[in-house]
Amino acid sequence: MKKSRDGDLANTALEAASPPRGTTESLAADADPDSGPRGDLSSLGSDSEINGFVNGDQKIDKYGFVGGAQYTGDLQHEVPPEVLRQRESKWLDMLNNWDKWMAKKYKKVKLRCQKGIPPSLRGRAWQYLSGSKVKMEQNHGKFDEMDRSPGDPTWLDVIERDLHRQFPFHEMFIARGGHGQQDLYRVLKAYTIYRPEEGYCQAQAPIAAVLLMHMPAEQAFWCLVQICEKYLPGYYSAGLEAIQLDGEIFFALLRKVSPVAHKHLNKYKIDPILYMTEWFMCAFSRTLPWVSVLRIWDMFFCEGVKVIFRVGLILLKYTLGSSEKLKKCQGQYETMEKLRSIDPRYMQDGFLVREIIELPITEREVEKEHLIQLKKWKDTHGDLKYQPPPRLHGAKAINEAEPHSQKALVQMPSIVVHSPPVSPDSGSNSKKKKDKKMSKEQKKEQKKQKKTGKVETVANGSTADETNRILKDEQNVTQPVEFAKELNQSMLKKDTQLQQSEQSLSSEETEQDTYL
Domain ranges in the chain?
239-385
Query: Residue 435 — very low, low, confident or very high, per pLDDT cuts 50/70/90?
Result: low
Q: Which residues, other chains included, contact 161 with Cβ-Cβ below 8 Å and sequence gap of 6+? A: 17, 18, 19, 21
CB 374 within 8 A of CB 245: yes
CA trace torsion 360, 361, 365, 366 (10° rounding): 180
**CATH homologous superfamily for the domain 239-385:** Ypt/Rab-GAP domain of gyp1p, domain 3 (1.10.472.80)
pLDDT value for 382 = 86
Q: Please give the average per-residue pLDDT across 510-515, as a whole number.
A: 36
Q: What b/e sequence results for 88-99 when a residue is b if at least 16 CB atoms lie within 10 Å of its CB, and e otherwise?
A: beebeebbeebe
Query: Residue 406 — very low, low, confident or very high, per pLDDT cuts 50/70/90?
Result: low
Write phi, then psi, for 459 (nearest 5 degrees): -65, -35
Q: Return d(Cα 514, Cα 516) in angstroms, integer.
A: 6
Q: Please give the average per-residue pLDDT across 42-65, as a whole number.
A: 56
Query: Residue 267 — very low, low, confident or very high, per pLDDT cuts 50/70/90?
Result: very high
Distance (Å) of CA 107 to CA 96, 111, 302, 366:
17, 6, 10, 20
Q: Return d(Cα 182, Cα 199) in angstroms, integer.
A: 19
For the stretch 297-347, pLDDT in tens is: 999 999 999 999 999 999 999 999 888 888 888 889 999 999 999 999 999
Rama region for 455: left / alpha / beta (φ>0; ψ in -120 to 50; rest): beta
pLDDT value for 324 = 86
Q: Is the pLDDT of residue 263 over 60?
A: yes
Q: What is the pTM of this model?
A: 0.71
